[in-house]
A and B are shown apart, each in its own frame.
Chain A
Amino acid sequence: GAVVSQHPSWVICKSGTSVKIECRSLDFQATTMFWYRQFPKQSLMLMATSNEGSKATYEQGVEKDKFLINHASLTLSTLTVTSAHPEDSSFYICSALTPYLNTEAFFGQGTRLTVV
């Protein structure tokens, strides 16, 4: 199957700093990528849909200025958590749609963010 690489796998940062998470499709071009957030013992909640070359579409309740998403190329989408606070601590995971099998999304390994 297609490979999606997410980096870093874990990160600890101080309150007030910004953290960037990368999501790369390694062996295919992904026109659409999704970003999910998962709190402990909870399900994955879609944060935003990222389309290459255009602005991301955010789900209701997700702050656009807080979670900056950039999908500048067909193989890379980034999520930047700006001015992070402890309540932003969570597991973030991306997925990418392949253009050839656009009914299935492939997931990255996830990033565990801890804000102290």
Chain B
Amino acid sequence: NAGVMQNPRHLVRRRGQEARLRCSPMKGHSHVYWYRQLPEEGLKFMVYLQKENIIDESGMPKERFSAEFPKEGPSILRIQQVVRGDSAAYFCASSPVPDRRTQYFGPGTRLLVL
């Protein structure tokens, strides 16, 4: 049973470009969480999605960031007009129904903004 998959593993963007991060949850999991790990900081919650619904986006920056989890395909975290401060490791986690309390993390995408 494959784990949570994220791609790309590493992404380099110049300031002002767009970054798209993809997350395929574990088979059978319909809940996806995105977390960000900034250098020298801990993991911080960004957004929680179920298929076609954003349930909690309280950790998302108000501008330039968006997330989706379509009926088909992976969850996407999109960052528009990236700035150097967006450089971080972005992790996706998924959980099954009904045990939402157990979250399985992917390997992360390391975003570097030049």
Indicate, yes or no, whether A interacts with B.
no
Q: Which residues in B have some Cβ–Cβ distance to A below 8 Å?
A: none
